[in-house]
Amino acid sequence: MMLLNPIEVVPVDEVGPVHFIAAGGSGMSGIARLYADLGIETTGSDQSDSTALRSLARSGVTTYVGHKAEQVGDARTVVISSAIRPDNVELVEARARGLRVWHRSAALAALMQGRRCVSVAGTHGKTTTTAMTAVMLAEAGQDPSYVIGGPLSTTGASSANGAGEAFVVEADESDASFLQYPTEIAVITNVEADHLVNWGTPEAYAAGFRTFATGPTVRHVVINVDDHGSRALADELAADGHHVIRYGEAPDADVRISDVVAAGKGVSATLTYGDDAGTITLQVPGNHNLANASAAYAVGRLLGLTHDAAVEALGRFEGTLRRFQLITDTAGIRVYDDYAHHPTEIRAALTAARRATEAGNEATGLDGRLVACFQPHLYSRTIDFADEFGEVMTLADIAVINDICGAREDPVPGVTGELVVDAAVRHGAKEVVYVKEKYDLPAALNDLARPGDLIITLGCGDVTIVGPLLADLLAERPEASGR
């Protein structure tokens, strides 16, 4: 995969008919749905069936399982992701016919033309911050359009065409997609090295965020100053005269969070912005989610919301799927699923999970343990972060490690999940278990689990199948039915 260069896009009414290759992907399905919603003839294929692909079919997209050249049909534009290989038969057919071939970021940029565009970027927290911003604007009556990298837990949808002037998108930095969008408000949640297989060095990666923040259409930058990388960028931007709104718990934050306390299953704090101050209470846990909400709040104020309207709307956010998502609470055992796949994201998820474990023990009198089930994603990322993955696994009482989900990458000799196991042992993890095959994970976790435990599956690959399968096994326990 290579870094992308921004391109000129045609108006959206000139794009169709449009065909999406790998339409069921998290970055593709929401965009395909918006084209279909606009009445543009839209088709899409993917190598395997999925909930997302079936949802697209219900939305009016003609879908195919598997790839065949003839499925390109009458398309004038073919949309691909960075994961599509050059020898994909549909892509080969499109190029042979001289069709317009766009990366998904260009297809999204065409939809964003003429709108007030909010692009949410950062190494971590993009999906939740984008979702919070979209929900806040919708709850406050602004009817935004949006494309999020994960479905909202309340609607199951990751995108919408709204009648309002705001268009909110999750802006992916991994392949430089974020440079394609006509961004007015640039949000940067943090800057911590990742995707070095594309960017080469941490310095080049950080420089990409500066390019994003200083794009020709950017008027405002909303940026986290609790993170070292984004704080450094905030200082540079402010020194160069850019309009910067800082957020976080730091004393110099413009949107400042303080007095943090747990609030049921969520979290509460004091939020201060200029002369406005008051309590913000979220339905999702963790200081990291307060940071995400602070960014969304800043966007809301830039788009005309009052303090009270923004805070009240954010309090109605119920989360996105695969972000500390409760799968089951059966036989006294809670199972959560989380998309975290970078060491910093895993640390945030396990910190929130630890608090939830301790709260559960306090309520029940049990001695429940935190069990982390981690599936590393990508061979390149595992090479870069194996030691950090092992270190963060020490936050769990039991770490269950799966083999690597290679996704778009070919296997690398000697690079397996055992690298993370070895690192966890080296860093003093309390108990580490290696389960190579993902389909063996549900049974292994069921054997380990006892009442009071909190189990959380972690990773952005197909580890998401584990929670529901484990839920079925837990339901067969005698204590689940009171026997």
The three-state secondary structure class of 220 is strand
Question: Distance between CA 372 and CA 335 in Å, rounded?
Answer: 10
Please say if 126 is a catalytic residue: yes
DSSP symbol at 58: H
Catalytic one of 93, 170, 184, 391:
170
- The phi, psi pair for 44, rounded to 5°, reads -160, 145
Question: Distance between CA 289 and CA 127 in Å, rounded?
Answer: 11
The closest of 119, 86, 126, 67 to 292, measured between CA atoms, is 126
Which residues, 6 or more positions from 329, have their beta carbon under 8 angstroms from its beta carbon?
A: 335
- Asked whether 4 and 103 are in contact (CB, 8 A), the reply is yes
- Asked whether 112 and 169 are in contact (CB, 8 A), the reply is yes
Question: Distance between CA 408 and CA 342 in Å, rounded?
Answer: 17
Q: Which strands, in side-by-side order, build the sheet including 432-435?
A: 325-330, 333-338, 454-458, 370-374, 398-402, 432-435
Angle 332-288-30 from CA coordinates, rounded to 5°: 85
Residue 127 assigned as binding residue? yes
Which residues, 6 or more positions from 444, have their beta carbon under 8 angstroms from its beta carbon?
A: 400, 433, 435
Residue 382 assigned as binding residue? no
Residue ranges of alpha helices (H) inside 47-175 are 51-58, 89-96, 104-112, 126-139
- Structure token digits, residue 264: 């049921």
Radius of gyration of the chain (CA): 22
Please say if 68 is a catalytic residue: no
Residue 122 assigned as binding residue? yes
The closest of 272, 365, 328 to 457, measured between CA atoms, is 328
Question: Distance between CA 463 and CA 469 in Å, rounded?
Answer: 11
Residue 342 assigned as binding residue? no
Amino acid making up residue 436: K
- Asked whether 174 and 198 are in contact (CB, 8 A), the reply is yes
Catalytic one of 42, 77, 93, 126:
126
Query: Residue 298, class by beta-carbon neighbours within 10 Å (0-12 exposed, 13-18 middle, 19+ buried)?
Result: buried
Please say if 436 is a catalytic residue: no
Residue 63 assigned as binding residue? no
Question: Distance between CA 351 and CA 288 in Å, rounded?
Answer: 10
- The phi, psi pair for 320, rounded to 5°, reads -120, 160
Catalytic one of 42, 63, 127, 330:
127
User: Which residues line the annotated binding site?
Assistant: 122-128
Residues with catalytic roles: 126-127, 170
User: Which residues line the annotated binding site for ATP?
Assistant: 122-128
